[in-house]
Amino acid sequence: MEFSNSGILFMIGTWAAILLLNTFCFFKVLTKKEEKK
């Protein structure tokens, strides 16, 4: 079975979505100062 263009598109698209979500989340987590209790 050949790796089709739609397969490549799905893989790259899903990877990009997951990496973007992780980047957004960790950026927010790591840049927000923890409140002093």
Partner 1 sequence: MKNSRDNWSSKIGVILAVAGSAVGLGNFLRFPVQAATNGGGAFIIPYLIAFILLGIPLSWMEWTFGRYAGMHGHGTAPGAFHQIFKKPWAKYLGSLGLLPPLFISFYYIFVQSWILAFTYYSITGKLMEVVKADKITEFFNDYIMLNTKIGPIPAAIIFFLITFACNTALLSFGVRKGIERANKIAMPILLIMGIILVIRVLTIDGIGEGLAYMWNPDFSELTNPQVWLAAAGQVFFTMSLGMGIILCYASYLKPKEDIVLSSLTAGATNGFAEIILGGTIVIPIAIIMMSNSNIEEIAKLGTFGLGFQAMPHVFGQLPLGNIIQTLWFGMLFFAGLTSAVSIIQPLVSFCEDDLAFSRPKAISTISLITFIGGFISIFGLAAGAVDELDFWGGSFLLVLLGTIQAFIFAFVLARQKSETNPNENKAFALLNEGAAIKLPRFFRPIILYVCPTYLAVLLVSWLATSGIDVLLLTNVKPDEMVTFLGFELSKITFTWGIRIFLIVITILLNLAIAFAWNSKKAKNGRKSKIKKVEIGNA
Q: How far is the CB of 19 from partner 1 (least distance, A)?
A: 8
Q: How far is the CB of 11 from partner 1 (least distance, A)?
A: 4
Give, as ranges, the residues between 1 and 37 that touch partner 1 (CB under 8 A).
1-4, 6-8, 10-11, 14-15, 17-19, 21-22, 25-26, 28-30, 32, 34-35, 37
Residue with tokens 């979505």: 17
Question: In sequence order, which ranges of the chain are alpha helices (DSSP H)?
Answer: 5-31
Cα separations in angstroms, 18 against 1, 5, 6, 12? 26, 20, 18, 10
Q: How far is the CB of 28 from partner 1 (least distance, A)?
A: 6
